[in-house]
Structure formats: C-alpha cells, structure tokens
Chain A
Amino acid sequence: MNWKMWSLKKSPWVFHVNAGACNNCDIEVVDCLTPKFDVERFGIKLVGSPRHADALLVTGCVTRQIAPRLKEAYLQTSKPCVVFALGACACGTGIFCSGYHVVGPVDKIIKEADPNAIIAYVPGCPPKPEAMISGVVKALAAI
C-alpha cells in the first residue's frame, strides 16, 4: 500500500455535497458527528472544501442545476478519493426517478467526470448513522 492510500484509510476527511436532497440524509450525516456516534474518533472529519477532502458524501437525486457543480466538486477533490452515495435518492434517484428536473443518480454523473471513480453506496431513506459508518468501513476495507 502506498502512502497516499494509507493516509486515506487512516483518517478519511469528508466533504458533504447536497445534490438535491430533502435534508433528511444531511441530518443523519450531522447525527454521525454527535457524541453518540462520534465518527471523529475514527479520524473521519467534515471539512469545508473538497480540496481538503478524501471522500465526498453525496446526498440527493442530482438535479439538472447541480450536476455540473457536482462534477466540478469531484474534480477538485484530491485523488485518490472515494464517493459515497448516501440514501435511496443518491443510489438510484428513488421516488424522483421520473422527475423533469432529475438527471442522476450520483454514480452516473460522477462516471461522466471520471469513469474509474470509486463509488460506495449506502441505501436507506435516510440511512441510519450505523449504516453510514458500516458503509465507510466496508468501502475502506475494499480499496
């Protein structure tokens, strides 16, 4: 394992992108940071810029307006990086699949920017904080 991968797995800093979510998944992301789950003890930390991040937490079904901005956020993230599609909408657009303003899901948009992107899926509406932590552990074990 090279040092870049080692540092990614040791302490993945995450940047949260809301790509048209209803805020429910976002509240659960915040839940992960509260004392009960406290993901900072694993070195997982929310940061304010994709350039500081090792992982993108993407929630929402990706609307037409946000799609180019999501691609840009992905391109600005330092590589190697992992994209987490959090929630039913991000994994497969969910109940909004036939909406006139929906171009997602997240994996389709990210793969337009980089076909070799590492994408992990955490389904649920919203996913429980335990599911998110489990998803992060499984994704980091797989790469």
Chain B
Amino acid sequence: MNQQELNEKLKDIAAKVISIDTPAANRIYMPCESENIRDICRFLFADVGARFVIATGIDSDDCFEIIYHFSYDQTGCVINVKAYIRDRENPEVESITPLIPGAEWIEREMHDLLGIGFRNHPRLERLILADDWPDGVYPLRKDAKL
C-alpha cells in the first residue's frame, strides 16, 4: 500500500473518529472518543497492518488523553490516535492488550502514573512505582500533592 492507498483505506474508519487530519505528508492524526478506541486500534493493527509503537497518557485541561502511536513502515507514515477520556473522576478505557500484547506495560505504566483504568487488561498491577507507594496517589496528575 502506498501513501495514497493508505489515506483511502483510513476512510473506512472515518465514522468512529472525530476527524482525520494530515498535518504533514507522513503524519496522520485522528482524534476520537475513548469508547471507540478498541475498534480503531483493531482496524489499524489487523486490517491496515500498522505497527503499535507506544502510547502517551496526558492529564489535559478537562479530560484525560491517551495518544496511541502507530507506524506504517512501508511508507514511513506515523498515525496518531488521540482518545479523549471525559470522565475525570473515574477515568476508564478499554484495554488494547488483548489485541496487541506489546501494549501491556505501557498501559500498566499509565495506570500507575495517571490512574487511568483499563478494562479487560490481563494483569493490571503496579509496574514502576515503589512497592510502598500509597494507593490512589497518581504522581503525574496535575492536582497531585507531592
């Protein structure tokens, strides 16, 4: 698939995302709501054949955001899917680890540092904080008192 065909292929998922932006020739940016993230990641990983690189968790102004970074190596195109998690009190999103095992540790890290819950994650345990770190204290949240 060349870049043109990739752009066409991504229109199949247009109903699940808010918009498909191309800020540069080799960069595609897709904001979406967190309910659709599992379908979008399954589409990109299984149907398009993009490689999952990493995910980024952000404590934003009025919501949490997770940006899933995918790379389509044939054309060197990077696809960023930004999921908005609107519920600040009890942030939760569907885990993509059952689809992509490589996402297990980054989801555990986001759970540690930001307190985002991942539904259907096989092993959502503490990964990088100290063993004696108090429960319910998330150091990378903006309102964290440390």
Give residues in A with beta carbon < 8 Å to B: 63-65, 100-101
Residue in B130, B144, B146 whose beta carbon sits within 8 Å of that of A65 in the complex: B130
Q: Are A100 and B130 in contact (CB under 8 A)?
A: no
B 13-27 contacts with A by CB, 8 A: none
Cβ of A64: which chain B residues have Cβ within 8 Å of it? 130, 132-133
User: Once bound together, how far apart are the Cα atoms of A64 and B129, in whole Å?
Assistant: 9
Q: Are A100 and B139 in contact (CB under 8 A)?
A: yes
Instruction: List 12 A-B pairs, Cβ < 8 Å.
Output: A63-B130, A64-B130, A64-B132, A64-B133, A65-B130, A65-B131, A100-B139, A100-B144, A100-B146, A101-B129, A101-B130, A101-B139
> How many residues in B have their beta carbons less than 8 Å from beta carbons of A?
8
Distance (Å) between the CB of A1 and the closest chain B CB? 42
Cβ of B144: which chain A residues have Cβ within 8 Å of it? 100
Cβ of B131: which chain A residues have Cβ within 8 Å of it? 65
- Interface flags for B111-146 (1: CB within 8 Å of A; 0: not) read 000000000000000000111110000010000101
User: Once bound together, how far apart are the Cα atoms of A101 and B126, in whole Å?
Assistant: 15
Distance (Å) between the CB of A100 and the closest chain B CB? 4
